[in-house]
Amino acid sequence: MGYFDAASAAPLHPVARQALQASLDEGWADPARLYREGRRARVLLDAAREAAAESVGCRPDELVFTASGTRAVHSGIAGALAGRRRVGRHLIVSSVEHSSVLHSAEVHEADGGTVTQVPVDRGGAVDPAAFGAALRADTALACLQSANHEVGTEQPVAAVAGLCREAGVPLLVDAAQSLGWGPVDAGWSLLTASAHKWGGPPGVGLLVVRKGTRFAPQGPVDERESGRAAGFENIPAVVAAAASLRAVRAEAAQESARLRGLTERIRKKVPELVPDVEVVGDPVRRLPGVVTFSCLYVDGEALLHELDREGFSVSSGSSCTSSTLTPSHVLRAMGVLSEGNVRVSLPVGAAEGDVERFLDVLPRAVAAVREKLGAPVSEAVVREEDALVVDSLGKRCPIPVIELAKVIGDVPVGGLVRVLSDDEAARLDIPAWCQMRHQEYVGEEPADGGTAYLIRRST
């Protein structure tokens, strides 16, 4: 079986399994107690904290364990904003942050704060100059992920951290996707991570707050974890998380080079094997094991099911896999094709043979989905005086783009096609299709029941 969704959750590392089993007998007691069992638990907790801090590159007393990476993000943002409330209530995030960051930003804005989202380029990276331009006198906190969870693009953390430091603004880095591969560039003030991303057990997060960073924990006060993470520590899981982080770091250099070779092969071969595919994300500055691509004329959910039947577990940012029928905020911010989106994220130890088998299966899977969606569309096409009109109202991705592709050849070069759609994904996918197929995207205008997208035939 090919489990290719490590960016969601990596398989439990063997070292994590061993540490978890070994600590179950010693780490069950309350580490705050002075009797023998409590002292044993405290020794395990302190050792895990020191090991994790060494991997992060911080002091042990700067790091606390939380119930998840999401909880670490929520607590970190809320505490940093509260600690600097006298400075102002302005928060900066990138437009491709993890949903935990964006949800925290929404709560902050609903509470009267202000939020600036810094855009990204088509590869998914922020421009440090644009990030710096967003800094203001009332900026309380800035947030930037170390690497993107959907497309693997690494962010210019060092450059942004330098600008934040000059402005006196703390920077929170969500390092969930990258911490297993190495420490984050220096200059950050707060850092969060999640153990299940590097092969530790789920339910363990890290929150690091550098000394000197103003921070006011929110919610009821708890005496555990410096008051920054309430509740009884899950010591066996914490021990396993710290042990596995150290283990994957020891393997990181060699494994990173190996996985980069495998993902480079996927990036190169998929466009050769499957027509009408866009590989997205920065081709160079990216995580070792992540490669993402989108296939025209494909329903993302159907493609994932087709690949699952063939024994491959992958994920998608396509709107077709979402109950909201809106594309991933990451793909939307990048302005890339969202339909038929596939993210392959290889786990540590992924076999080359599984990658080759995936490349063999993928063309058949895409062709099968496209065939199912290839119904005639002549009834949906009418001619106006100046354009060919495709009525795709009430039809979801990728039907509007399929219908556009089928009729573009029916108008002369310079002629217009007007696609009517009420699917939000069309606002992203039709311009992306035009760029891929070298047609001119003219723009959009209101239409009865939805939006009209105008495309001029260029080739």
Q: Which residues are catalytic?
A: 320
Q: Please identify which residue in the block is written with the tokens 């039809």.
A: 395
In the three-class reduction of DSSP (H, G, I as helix; E, B as strand; rest coil), residue 411 is classed as coil
Provide the β-strand partners of residue 93: 117
Task: Report which of 366, 308, 368, 314 is spatially closest to residue 340, judged by C-alpha positions.
Answer: 366
Cα distance between residue 179 and residue 193, in whole Å: 7
Tell me, rounded to whole angstroms, the distance of Cα 178 from its chain centroid: 11
Kind of pairing between the strands at 341-345 and 290-295: antiparallel
Task: Report which of 366, 276, 249 is spatially closest to residue 316, judged by C-alpha positions.
Answer: 366
Residue 178 contacts residue 98 (beta carbons within 8 Å):
no
What are the distances in angstroms from CA 165 to CA 46, 88, 142, 232? 31, 17, 11, 35
CB atoms within 10 A of CB 337: 29
Using only C-alpha atoms, what is the Rg of the chain?
Answer: 24
Cα distance between residue 337 and residue 166, in whole Å: 37
What tokens does 93 get?
């995030």
Cα distance between residue 364 and residue 237, in whole Å: 42
Cα distance between residue 322 and residue 261, in whole Å: 31
Q: How many CA atoms lie within 13 A of 41 on its CB side?
A: 20
